[in-house]
Amino acid sequence: MTGFSKLGIIAGAGDLPVLLAQHCRDSGMPVHVSRIKGMTDPRLALFPGSECALANFGERIKALKADGVDALVFAGLVNRPDFSTLKPDLRGALALPRIMSEMRKGDDALLRAVLAEFEREGFAIVGTDEVLADLLAEEGLLAGKAPTEAHMEDVRKAMTIAAEIGRLDIGQGAVVVDGLVLAVEAQEGTDRMLARVHDLSTHIRGTRVERRGVLAKRPKPVQERRVDLPTIGVKTVEGASRAGLAGIVVEAGGALVIDRNNVIAAAEEAGLFVLGVTLDAPP
């Protein structure tokens, strides 16, 4: 992170903003955690920073600049709000029409519009992977036993399906069992998608005794990679296990593994493989 005086974390929900803040503290990197009111983990209140309502762009920007922040990283889940209920400050009122005009083009366009508002104010935007490079999934087997050729056929199809829905800016994940597409991820997210798979008949999906099929997650081809990289964590492994899947596959260098040691332990205990594949060539 050379070249920046202080990093600001625009923090949504989940563990990732907490990991980022802890890393900055432990490494001596100056940080300001800009929390989103009503969304962020309570642990983030222990770090230096501020808290603002989602649409209060002016208040947030003022707090960041007053603390010397010149680079921002966006981390954590922020569900698409009901824009009709937002009460923006003056700077937010200027930003919202531009953001809403992009909203109909998809999530990636929406994210790009949000980033542009902060770039207009002079902030550099950096990716989570630039701060926490060790979270990136590497190529190869990350946990569990090596997948069989039958599993790899599902891996190839699931990654292809994930790419297609990503190209349309729909989602980042897909589940394939024995060549059959059981689910694709949309606005509900990975956890709920896996819950839908669990609700299917066991003769279609796998079981804990006879695991079949894979969950694939990869960035959208159109994606702004500085934000919203696919992530997997312990909850992902638990959801895949309940759904009877044999494994999880992600793009090497294009997905984050949160709490890696516990992810590996959970996968090993459940009997799942976790695999990172390079997409320049077929997996």
Identify the burial level of 72 via C-beta atoms within 10 angstroms of its C-beta, where 0-12 means exposed, 13-18 middle and 19 or more buried: buried
Please say if the pLDDT value at position 1 is more than 70.
no
Instruction: Name the CA dihedral angle for 258, 262, 264, 266, rounded to a multiple of 10 degrees.
Output: -120
Average pLDDT over residues 210-224: 90
CA distance 31 to 47: 8
Regarding whether 107 and 158 lie in a shared domain, the answer is no
Regarding whether 207 and 94 lie in a shared domain, the answer is no
Regarding whether 94 and 141 lie in a shared domain, the answer is no
Regarding whether 234 and 151 lie in a shared domain, the answer is yes
Lowest-pLDDT range of 14-18, 73-77, 210-214, 227-231: 227-231
Nearest to 207 by CA among 173, 235, 241: 241
Tell me the per-residue pLDDT of 221-266, one tens digit each, with 9 for 90 and over.
877 788 888 999 999 999 999 999 999 999 999 999 999 999 999 9
CA distance 246 to 226: 30
The amino acid occupying position 46 is L
Regarding whether 264 and 150 lie in a shared domain, the answer is yes
Any domain includes 169 = yes
Tell me the per-residue pLDDT of 178-187, one tens digit each, with 9 for 90 and over.
999 999 998 8
* Domain's final residue, options 104, 131, 158: 131
Please check whether residue 201 is in contact with residue 219, taking contact to mean a CB–CB distance below 8 angstroms: no
Any domain includes 181 = yes
Q: 188: domain CATH number?
A: 3.40.140.80
Residue 144's region, left for phi above 0, alpha for psi from -120 to 50, else beta, is: left
Please say if the pLDDT value at position 283 is more than 50.
no
Domain containing residue 71: 7-131
By three-state DSSP, how is residue 258 classified?
Answer: coil
DSSP H or E run through 247: strand 247-251
Average pLDDT over residues 194-207: 91
CA distance 206 to 161: 19
Any domain includes 66 = yes
Which residues are registered as beta bridge partners of 251?
277
CA distance 86 to 63: 20
Regarding whether 55 and 25 lie in a shared domain, the answer is yes
Regarding whether 164 and 43 lie in a shared domain, the answer is no
Regarding whether 161 and 80 lie in a shared domain, the answer is no
Tell me the per-residue pLDDT of 81-116, one tens digit each, with 9 for 90 and over.
888 888 999 999 999 999 988 888 878 888 899 999
Please say if the pLDDT value at position 281 is more than 70.
no
**Number of domains, the chain:** 2
* Domain's final residue, options 63, 96, 131: 131
Helix orientation angle between 260-270 and 234-242, rounded to the nearest 10 degrees: 20
* Domain's final residue, options 131, 164, 194: 131
Q: What is the pTM of this model?
A: 0.84
Regarding whether 140 and 107 lie in a shared domain, the answer is no
Q: 91: domain CATH number?
A: 3.40.50.20
Regarding whether 263 and 147 lie in a shared domain, the answer is yes
Regarding whether 84 and 140 lie in a shared domain, the answer is no
Average pLDDT over residues 67-77: 94
Do you know the residue count of the chain? 283
Tell me the per-residue pLDDT of 113-169, one tens digit each, with 9 for 90 and over.
999 999 999 999 999 988 988 899 999 999 999 999 999 999 999 999 999 999 888
Any domain includes 12 = yes
Any domain includes 1 = no
Any domain includes 283 = no
Regarding whether 143 and 111 lie in a shared domain, the answer is no
Torsion 215-221-225-228 (CA) sign: negative
Any domain includes 241 = yes
Any domain includes 254 = yes
